[in-house]
Structure formats: C-alpha cells, structure tokens
C-alpha cells in the first residue's frame, strides 16, 4: 500500500531521503534534515499558490472534477518542478475543490526537492513498483471521471489512466493555457532579465563574424557567450550566412563566411527560473548592395509597424497583418513565409501565436515575439525579432539592440 504525507521543507531538506536510512514514520516516510534546499530555481511559494488556486478555479468553471498534470512546462508553471516523464507515473492532481496532491514514485522523490512543493505543503502520495499509481490518482479525485490532463501526458500514462477512470480525459489546455498566456509580475521580470541577457550577447556577435570562419565556429562562440551572460544553456543558435539565411530554421553549418554575406543570427535560451530569451538580428559582412539595403529597410518598417500595432483589444491576426501589409506593398509578401510571432515563457514557443486567422484579442501581460522576415531562396535572408510585453496602452520591447542591418568590417 502506498504511503502518503504532507510534504514539508523539513522533509525535503535531507540528502538521504531517496536512499536507505530514511526513517519510516506514522504517515509515511519521515526524512532526516540535513540537506540545503535549492530555491533560486523557483519563484517564491506564494506565486505558485496563486497559480494552483487559479487552476482549481478554472477546473471548476469548466465543470471538471480536477486536473492531472504530468511533467512538462505545465507542471513547472504550477509548482516549479522540473521532474521528467518516465515509465513510472509522476503527476500533480489538482481537484476542483480540495488539496492538490503529488503522485510520485518513491525513488523519484528527489525530483521534488527543487520545486516549491515543500513550501506549499502539498500532500504527497508516493508509490513503489508493484503498486498501481493510477488508483492513487483516482483516489485523489474522489473517483470522479470528468477530468482534464495536460497535453504533455504520454500515451503510456493516458491509456491506463483512462481505463482506471472509466472515461477518456479531456485536455487541460483550455484551463492551463488561459493561465499561462498572461504573464504575472514575476514572469515579466524574468523575461525582461532574459531579454537584457540576450542583448548583451548580440552586442558581442560582430566580433565573431569574420570572413573565413565557419557558421559552426561562430555558433560555438555565441553559445559560450549565451551561458556567460546569464543563461543556464543555449536553447538554440541559428547562424545563417548567405544562401543559408534564406532558410528560416537553418541552424549552422561548415560554410565559411564570405565578404558580402548577409548573416541571420537568431539566438536564445533560459534564464533562471527558466524563462526564455529569443532575439534575431541580421548582419552584413561589408556594405550591402543597394537592392539588399532597400529590401532590408522595408523589413525594418514592417517590424516597427507590427510592434506599433500591439495594444490591448487588437487581435493577434491584426498584428500579423500590420507586418505583412508593409511587405506586400513593396512586393515582398511572397518572401515572408512564416507567422509574425509566438508567445514565450517557460517554453520558447507557446500561446499566443501571432498569425493570420487567430482572432484572439491581446491582453495586458501577454508576451510574444514580433519577427517578420524575408527569404530569397538560394540568395539571402533577413529577420528582425524582438520580444514584446503587451502593456495597458501598447507594447514594451524587452530587446533594445539596433534594428538596422549591422555592417561588420
């Protein structure tokens, strides 16, 4: 039979709790108390408490008995946990009414150490091999079948869970995406810090761009700079020179840079507690020819027009159209082959998506990229990208590097 207890800071503050030597107590495992709890990778617990309350309220409003959240960005958003999905079930169960519960394999209890679980006082039901964790989920929901699951739940957990509940759960995206799409003050502060960090990297890029160096060599220098400037890692590094710049998702290659190349540099990564930067600037190795300069000037106007269009009440597709219309007027619409932007936060790509057909109205606190580009196959490409925050009366960019085509050398 699985043991359960209310997880406390005392419980998590011990290195031995996942090893033999932990002491079995009346409510489960009473854990020794000599581990320093890592907190800098999480927000304060009151931030997560508000999110859990909002998730429960959203579940109730949707007529659900509760939400089941497995490892992924939703779990990280709700309790700061960076647990990973394995064949053994880990899940946060949020009933529409009542105390949230974490279901976790006993050998994975360590994954909760860096989350806010202890400070939140969450109930933890641990289990061992041979026991059925899906029964614990059902018990935590009072046996109710109308529940929603995070869209990151793998089928190897969804199918046995559906069998145990007697019904196929619906997706929790309608509840959780509605919470995550508007950033709170803590998230906005983190995204501003991430934006400043990636700006410091772009300030160094010109020194890396020298004829004869390969894209991969430049990317390696940028990766090192991303970490040096405060990111925990480089999530992506795109260095697209010459014809490679015409591929929006080119990464890097062994192509040597040449005088006359236009180089697209799109870079970003997470800054603790895990919020991402994403910024693109375009560089020219030597003075560009007149046609490139003219077309780039139009792209700069298109990006500025889209940022200027951002304000509460405007739809996502209207922001997309603001950029696209400028390019269309100059005969460049066919070379703009992707949406204008995407939301950003714990995930590099999340809602809202700034794309034709999305009639979602913008609200203060939404954060997304504005990144029109033009791509001439086999020749060159260019993109300008800033992350912007929707304010009460417009947009606040978190990136502040120059938007002009930066001439190097």
Looking at domain 185-408, its CATH architecture is Alpha-Beta Complex (3.90)
pLDDT attached to residue 385? 98
pLDDT attached to residue 10? 36
pLDDT attached to residue 93? 98
pLDDT attached to residue 114? 83
Backbone angles phi, psi at 19, to 5 degrees: -125, 165
pLDDT attached to residue 308? 98
Q: Which of 268, 280, 239 shows the shortest CA–CA distance to 256?
A: 239
pLDDT attached to residue 145? 83
**Domain range list for the chain:** 3-180, 185-408
The first and second tokens of residue 345, run together, are 């936060």
Measured in whole angstroms, how far is the alpha carbon of residue 369 from the centre of its chain? 12
| Record: fold of 3-180 | Creatine Amidinohydrolase; Chain A, domain 1 (3.40.350)
pLDDT attached to residue 143? 80
User: Structure pTM?
Assistant: 0.88
pLDDT attached to residue 144? 84
Distance CA 156, CA 399 (A): 41
pLDDT attached to residue 40? 66
- Where the chain has pLDDT below 70, the residues are 1-40
pLDDT one-digit tens code per residue, 291-334? 999 999 999 999 999 999 999 999 999 999 999 999 999 999 99
The first and second tokens of residue 309, run together, are 């269009």
Cβ pair 232, 222 in contact under 8 A: no
């Amino acid at each position: 039979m699985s043991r359960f207890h209310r997880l406390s800071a005392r419980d998590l503050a011990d290195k031995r709790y996942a090893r033999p030597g932990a002491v079995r107590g009346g409510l489960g495992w009473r854990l020794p108390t000599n581990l320093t709890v890592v907190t800098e990778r999480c927000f304060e617990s009151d931030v997560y408490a508000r999110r859990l309350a909002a998730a429960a309220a959203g579940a109730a409003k949707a007529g659900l008995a509760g939400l089941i959240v497995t490892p992924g960005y939703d779990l990280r958003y709700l309790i700061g946990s960076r647990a990973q999905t394995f064949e053994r079930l880990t899940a946060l169960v949020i009933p529409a009414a009542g105390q949230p519960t974490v279901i976790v394999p006993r050998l994975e209890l360590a994954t909760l150490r860096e989350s806010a679980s202890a400070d939140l006082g969450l109930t933890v039901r641990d289990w061992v091999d041979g026991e059925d964790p899906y029964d614990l989920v059902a018990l935590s929901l009072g046996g109710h079948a109308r529940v929603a699951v995070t869209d990151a739940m793998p089928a190897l957990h969804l199918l046995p869970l559906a069998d145990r509940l007697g019904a196929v759960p619906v997706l929790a995206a309608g509840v959780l995406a509605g919470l995550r799409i508007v950033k709170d003050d803590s998230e906005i502060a983190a995204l501003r810090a991430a934006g400043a960090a990636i700006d410091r990297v772009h300030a160094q890029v010109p020194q890396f761009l020298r004829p004869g160096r390969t894209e991969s060599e430049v990317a390696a220098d940028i990766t090192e700079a991303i970490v040096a400037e405060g990111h925990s890692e480089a999530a992506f590094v795109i260095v697209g020179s010459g014809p490679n710049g015409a591929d929006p998702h080119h990464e890097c290659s062994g192509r040597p840079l040449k005088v006359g190349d236009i180089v697209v540099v799109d870079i970003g990564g997470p800054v603790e507690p895990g919020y991402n930067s994403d910024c693109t600037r375009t560089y020219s190795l030597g003075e560009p020819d007149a046609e490139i300069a003219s077309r780039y000037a139009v792209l700069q106007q298109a990006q500025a027009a889209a940022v200027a269009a951002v304000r509460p009440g405007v739809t996502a597709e209207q922001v997309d159209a603001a950029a696209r219309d400028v390019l269309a007027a100059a005969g460049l619409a066919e070379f703009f082959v992707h949406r204008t932007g995407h939301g950003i936060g714990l995930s590099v790509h999340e809602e809202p998506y700034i794309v034709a057909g999305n009639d979602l109205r913008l609200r203060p606190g939404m954060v997304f990229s504005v990144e029109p580009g033009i791509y001439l196959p086999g020749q060159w490409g260019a993109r300008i990208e800033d992350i912007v925050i929707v304010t009460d009366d417009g947009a606040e960019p978190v990136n502040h590097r120059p938007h002009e085509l930066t001439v190097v050398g």
